[in-house]
Structure 1
Amino acid sequence: MYTLPSDAFVKNVDVYHLPGITPETIETCSDLLQKNHEKNHVFFNLRGGFHNHTAHHLLTALSLGASSNTLKHIYEQQMKIQLPLAPLHKEQDFDVQKCLGDDNYYHDYLEFFKKELNNEKYQGNIEDLIEDYVFNHDYLGLIFAGAYHPFIHLGYAVEFQSKLMAIEGLAMASVDRTILKDIVNHFNDDSNKDGDKTALDIIELIVKDSRFDEKVFYTDARPKTRIFLQRGGAPLIVEYARMWKCDLNDARRAAILINTAAIRPKKAPRLDFFLMHSTTSSLFLDIMVHSLKKKENQLKLIRAKFAVDLFYYVARGRPKLNLNYLCNEYPVSKEHLYIDASNPWLPLIDKCLTHPDEHVTKTIRALIYADKFDNAQGQDKLPYLKIAQMVMDALFPAGKKDWAQEGIGWDEYWQTVPYVSPQDPKQDCPAESQIVLQTFIPLTLNLSFLFKAIKAQRIIKSNVEDSELSFIKTQSLLALHCSLIYLDCYNDTKIKIIEDVMENYQWSSFQLNFTDMGCNVDNYQAYLNTRASQSSSLVLENIVHDLEAAITARGIRIKQSKGGNFHMTLATVKYQYPSDCIVSQLKQKFIPLSNYFGSKKVCCFWTKKIRWMDN
C-alpha cells in the first residue's frame, strides 16, 4: 500500500498547507487514494478524455485542512461516476512505445511504472523517475496532454511525496492523447535562449496579431484546440513563446490572469473551463521546477508550460485582459466580501470546500498559493483575495453557475452573458444618505407594450413548476418602464442639486425600440426583460453621459454608472428558473414577427425618489 508521508509535505520546496492536516486526515486520505488507485480507471469516460479527479479533489481538500468526514464525502461523490480499472493485457500484447495514447492500456502502464520506480536505477525516488522520463524519454509533450492533467497529477506526487500519484501521473501521461508535441518539443532543447518580453507584453501583441484571426473561430466545432493546430497555429505559438524572458513568477501570474482578467465590465463574471486549468496547474510549476536537479531541465519546463498556456489562451479566443477592471473596479458581491471576517480568506476557503466541482477548490487553492509566494511588492502584487472572491461570484451557487465552455475571448460568447444589475443600496448607504433617485421612461400608456407584455408574462408563468419555488413575480402592467439612470446613496441636499440638473437638461425626443429578449442577474435573483436596440441604447447612453457630466460638474460624485443595459423588466425569477430556455422561447415568439418587441416615441422622463430608511 502506498501511504502519504506522515508530514505530507514536500522536501525541497515551500508549499502552503492550512492548519488542519492531522495524522487522522492523512490516514483517511491515504486509504481513499489507495482504493481509487486499485479500483478505478484514470478516465471516467473512455475516448471522451474526461479525467478521474478523485485524487486531485482529495489532496486539494486535505491541503486546505478538510476533515476526515469531508474527505469521505468527496470520495463518495466522486465514485458515482468512475469507471472500473480494466484487467491487465497479456504481456506479449503490451508494448510501452506502441501503446502510447491508448487508454485501454492504463492498467498496464501502472504496473510498468511500479516496476520502473523500484528498479536499481531509481530505487523508489519519484523525482528521479519523473525527471528522467519527462526529459529523456520524450514525455515533456505527454505530461501537458488532456489540459495539463498528467502534469497536475505529477505535481501532487512531488508535493505530497506520493509514489502512488507518481505512478498514476506517468501512466496517465502515457495513455492521454497529446496534441502539443509540435509546440512543447521546441522547448526540450538546451539551445533555447531568453527573450526580452514579459508575459503580458506578449499577450498584448497576440491580441493585435491578425495572423491569428483565421486560425480559430467562435463558430468552430469543439475541440477548438485541435482546429487551431490543424490550421497551422503551432508555429505562431512557438514564435511568441520564444520572445519571453523566462521567469517563474511571471509565468504564474500570467496563468492566472489569462482567465480571471478576461471578465468584462458590467457583465456577470464568467471563467473559461480550459483556461482554468492553466490557473490550477500554476502552483505545480513551482513545485515541479524546484524538484528538478538539472538547471537546464527547470528552464525547459518553465518555457514549455508558458507555451502551453499561450496555446490555450489563443485557442479560447485571445481574450483582452481587463486588468484594471479586475483589480480596481470589479464589484465583489456582498455574499463573498465577508466584511465582518477577521480574515476574509477563511470563510471563502470553507465555502469553496463545499462546492461539488473540484475545479473550484483547486482554483481557490492556486490563488492562495500565489498570494503567499508572489514576489511582487506593493501595488505591483495582484489582489489575489479579490480575484478569489470574483471566482466565487462566478461559480456560486453550485448548479446554477458554471464554467464557460465556448471560449471567453469572443464577443459572441459575451453577448449571451447577462449584465449585472446595480447592487441594492439598502445594504451600504449610511442612515443620512439613503435616498435613491430613479429616472425612467414610462411605458404603461403604450398599448403595444401592454399586449405583448401580457403575452410574454403568460409564457413566463406557464413554465413555473407547481411548487413555484423558482418564481417571484411579474412586473405590474401599471409599472412597465425603462430605467435610464440610478443615483443612489445621496442625502436630501445632493438629491435637490441632482433634480435641478435634470430639470434644466435640454434634449430632443427620439424613438425607443426594443429588439431583443434577455436576462439580467444580481446577487439575489434574475430579471427577464426585453432590451433596447443598439441605436436606441446609443441615444440613451449619450443622455446618461451628459447627465452624469453635469452632475459631476456640480461637485457630486457618481457612485455607480448605469452602463449600457437598457431594458424593460417583464418578470423577476429565482436562479432555479430555466431563464435561458424561456428567453429563447420569448425571442422565437416576439422578435421574428417584426424584428422588435415594441416601439415608443420618448418625449419625457419621470423621476422617482425612494428613501430606503422609510421602508
Structure 2
Amino acid sequence: MATAYTIRIAPDNTGLCKVRQDESTAKAASDLLQDDLEKHHVFFNPRGFHNHISHHILSLYGTGASSEDMKKGFDGNKSYQRPAFEAHREVIEGLKDWEVAKGRLANELHYPDFLAFFQKEIERLGWQQVLKEYVFNGDTKSEDMMLRMFSGELVGQTAMPRYMLPKGCPDWKLTASPALLHSLIQLMYGVEWEQPAMVAMGLAQAAVHRDSLRAFLLGAEEAAKSNPDPMPSIVSLLEEIRSNKTVAAAVEKAGIDEIRQGVLEGTWDETIAIASRVKIKPEELDERTAEMYDSTIYASAAAAFRPGKYPKFDFILMHHVNVNPIFLVINRQDWIPIESKVRLLEWKIRIDIAHYVNRGCPPLSLENVASYVPTDKSIGPADAQLPRVHALDDDGHAIKLFRALILGRELSEKYGDRDWANVKGDCLWTRLIHLMVDSAESPGPRWIRSKMLGASWAFIPDLP
C-alpha cells in the first residue's frame, strides 16, 4: 500500500495513458522510485539542476515500457545524483508554524526537513487534505506555496554545466532562468498516480524554490480585475504580443541574462497587459484547459525549426508542454475548489505568454510540421514510435514530452471543431510525434537551450 513513506505502484495504475502493465513491472517501478526517494537529493548539483528520476520512471511505466527500460533509465541517471541530505530533526517540528517555516524557504538544505514535515502531515491528514491546506486554501501560506510551485528559478547564478553543451559551445548562463515548472511536474506524478510520498516530494520541492514569479503572477492577476475585455483565444494573445514593437525591439537586443522576475527586460508593461486579458469563467474550465494544451504544443512545435538545421524542440517551451497533464488530473479532483482550478489554469496561461516572449517570440505556424518527412521516409502509427523513445539515453525529458503529446492528441479529438484548435487531425498529430522522436535522435544537442536568436542553432548540425 502506498503511504507517505512508501511508493507502491499497482499494475492497473498506469496514469492517464491507461496502458497495461504486469505485477513484475509494477514492482520494478515501485522499487526504483523508492530507491530514488530514499537515496537522492532533489537537486543533482549545487546549481539547482533537478533530479528527474521519478518523472522518468513513471513516464516510462505509464507508456508501457519494460522493467529493463526503466532500469536502464534509472542507472543512466543515478550516477550524477547527490545523496539525500540529512534532515534537521530540530527544524521539522518548527515548520508547523508558517512564520517559522518562512525562514527556511528557498534553501535546499531544508529540503529533507520539508519532505519529512509534509510526510508527517500527509500521514496525519491524508494527501488530499494536505494539498487543500497548503496549496488550495486561499490563505497566505497556500498562496506562497502555489507561487513556488510555478517557480523553477535556479538556486544560484551559474553557468550551464559543460556536459550539457556541445563541443565548442560557450557557457550560456541561466541566471534568473524562466520557470521550468518542476515542482508542479513533480506534484503531477504524485497526484496522477495517487502516491502520497511523491505528493510530499512535490510540496518539499516547491518549498525550496524561490517565488521569483510573484510580482508577475500577482501583478497580472490584479490588472485582470480592472480589465473589462473578454478573454480572446490564447494564440491571438501570443500573436498580439509578438507583433508589439516594444517587445520586438526588446527581443532583438536581449540576452538570456536579461530576464527579470520571469519577464524579458523591457517588456514588463506589455507582458502584464497581455497576461491580464487571461480571465477564465468556471464554466469554461475544461475547454480553456484544452485550449491551453493546444497553444503550448503549437508554440513548441512551431519553434522547432530553423532553415537548414535539424529540427530541435526548445528546452523551455518543452517544459510548458510536459506539465500539461496535471491540469487534466486537477480538473478531475472534486475535492479541489473550482476557484483554485481556474486560478491555477490562469497562472499557467500567463506564464506561457511570458515565456513565449522570453524565448524570442518564435513565429507561429505549423506549415513545417504539416510538410515534415520523417527520417525513415514513412509515416507509421504514432504509438509505434514508443520503443524508440523508451530506448533513448535520456534523463526523462523526451518520454515526458512524448507522453504529453499522446495525451494532447487524445484531448484534441473532443475540440477539433473549435476556432482556437490548431493541432488537429490524425495526419498532423502523427507527423508531429514523428518529428519529436526524430529530433531527439538526431545529431547534436537534444534540445535548444538558449533563446531563439541564433546562438543555440549555431551548434545544431546542418541538414545533409
Q: TM-score range by the shorter chain?
A: 0.7 to 0.9
Residues 188/23 of structure 1: CA separation in 2 closer, same or farther (3 Å cut): farther
Selected match of 1:118 from 91, 103, 123? 123
Q: Deviations over 1:396-435 (max 9, x none)?
A: 14x7342111112x3x3487377xxxxxxxxxxxxxxxxx
Query: Are residue 406 (structure 1) and residue 450 (structure 2) matched?
Result: yes
For residues 265 and 215 of structure 1, what CA distance do their matches in structure 2 show? 21
Selected match of 1:367 from 397, 405, 419? 405
Does the aligned pair in 1 maintain the 2:264–2:357 contact within 8 Å? no
User: How many pairs does the alignment contain?
Assistant: 403
* C-alpha deviation, 1:97, in angstroms: 1.1
Residues 56/416 of structure 1: CA separation in 2 closer, same or farther (3 Å cut): same
Query: Are residue 140 (structure 1) and residue 146 (structure 2) matched?
Result: yes
Query: Are residue 101 (structure 1) and residue 138 (structure 2) matched?
Result: no
Give the equivalent residue in structure 2 for 1:254: 295
Does the aligned pair in 1 maintain the 2:213–2:261 contact within 8 Å? no
Higher helix share: 2
Give the equivalent residue in structure 2 for 1:17: 18
For 1:556-595, list aligned pairs within 5 A. none
Does the aligned pair in 2 maintain the 1:8–1:160 contact within 8 Å? no
Give the equivalent residue in structure 2 for 1:166: 199
* C-alpha deviation, 1:183, in angstroms: 2.1
Query: Are residue 82 (structure 1) and residue 81 (structure 2) matched?
Result: yes
For 1:2-401, list aligned pairs within 5 A. 2-6=6-10, 9=13, 15-19=16-20, 21-46=21-46, 48-92=47-91, 95-119=100-124, 123-124=125-126, 126-135=127-136, 136=138, 137-138=142-143, 139-146=145-152, 147-186=180-219, 195-216=230-251, 220=255, 222-226=256-260, 229=263, 231=265, 233-244=267-278, 246=280, 247-264=288-305, 266-267=307-308, 268-291=310-333, 293-326=336-369, 328-334=370-376, 337=378, 339=379, 341=380, 344-357=381-394, 358-374=396-412, 375-377=414-416, 381-382=423-424, 383-397=428-442, 400-401=444-445
* C-alpha deviation, 1:333, in angstroms: 2.4
* C-alpha deviation, 1:7, in angstroms: 5.2
Does the aligned pair in 2 maintain the 1:263–1:322 contact within 8 Å? no
For 1:433-444, list aligned pairs within 5 A. none
The one-letter code sitting in structure 1 at the alignment partner of 2:133 is D
TM-score (norm 2): 0.79
Q: Deviations over 1:157-207 (max 9, x none)?
A: 111001111000000000023311112235778969883310110011011
Does the aligned pair in 1 maintain the 2:6–2:34 contact within 8 Å? yes
Secondary structure at the aligned position of 2:448 is classed as coil
Residues 217/405 of structure 1: CA separation in 2 closer, same or farther (3 Å cut): farther
Residues 415/283 of structure 1: CA separation in 2 closer, same or farther (3 Å cut): closer
Secondary structure at the aligned position of 2:447 is classed as coil
The one-letter code sitting in structure 2 at the alignment partner of 1:183 is F
For residues 304 and 76 of structure 2, what CA distance do their matches in structure 1 show? 31
**Structure 1 range deviating more: 133-142 or 103-112:** 133-142
**Structure 1 range deviating more: 160-169 or 134-143:** 134-143
Secondary structure at the aligned position of 1:104 is classed as helix
For residues 323 and 394 of structure 1, what CA distance do their matches in structure 2 show? 16
Which structure has more relative contact order (CA 8 Å, sep 6+)? It is 2
For residues 206 and 386 of structure 2, what CA distance do their matches in structure 1 show? 31
For residues 276 and 153 of structure 1, what CA distance do their matches in structure 2 show? 16
For residues 152 and 231 of structure 1, what CA distance do their matches in structure 2 show? 27
* C-alpha deviation, 1:131, in angstroms: 3.4
The one-letter code sitting in structure 2 at the alignment partner of 1:205 is E
* C-alpha deviation, 1:74, in angstroms: 1.5
For residues 238 and 264 of structure 2, what CA distance do their matches in structure 1 show? 22
**Which has the higher Rg, Structure 1 or Structure 2?**
1
* C-alpha deviation, 1:284, in angstroms: 1.7
For residues 243 and 348 of structure 1, what CA distance do their matches in structure 2 show? 39
Does the aligned pair in 2 maintain the 1:216–1:317 contact within 8 Å? yes
* C-alpha deviation, 1:211, in angstroms: 2.3
Secondary structure at the aligned position of 1:151 is classed as helix
For residues 210 and 18 of structure 1, what CA distance do their matches in structure 2 show? 48
* C-alpha deviation, 1:259, in angstroms: 1.3
Q: Which runs of 5+ in 1 are unaligned?
A: 419-518, 523-615
Residues 283/187 of structure 1: CA separation in 2 closer, same or farther (3 Å cut): farther
For 1:429-468, list aligned pairs within 5 A. none
Residues 174/228 of structure 1: CA separation in 2 closer, same or farther (3 Å cut): closer
Secondary structure at the aligned position of 2:462 is classed as strand
The one-letter code sitting in structure 2 at the alignment partner of 1:368 is I
Percentage identity across paired residues of the two chains: 24
Does the aligned pair in 2 maintain the 1:224–1:315 contact within 8 Å? no
The one-letter code sitting in structure 2 at the alignment partner of 1:199 is I
Q: Deviations over 1:363-386 (max 9, x none)?
A: 111100011122223696522221
* C-alpha deviation, 1:63, in angstroms: 0.2
Q: Deviations over 1:483-537 (max 9, x none)?
A: xxxxxxxxxxxxxxxxxxxxxxxxxxxxxxxxxxxx6323xxxxxxxxxxxxxxx
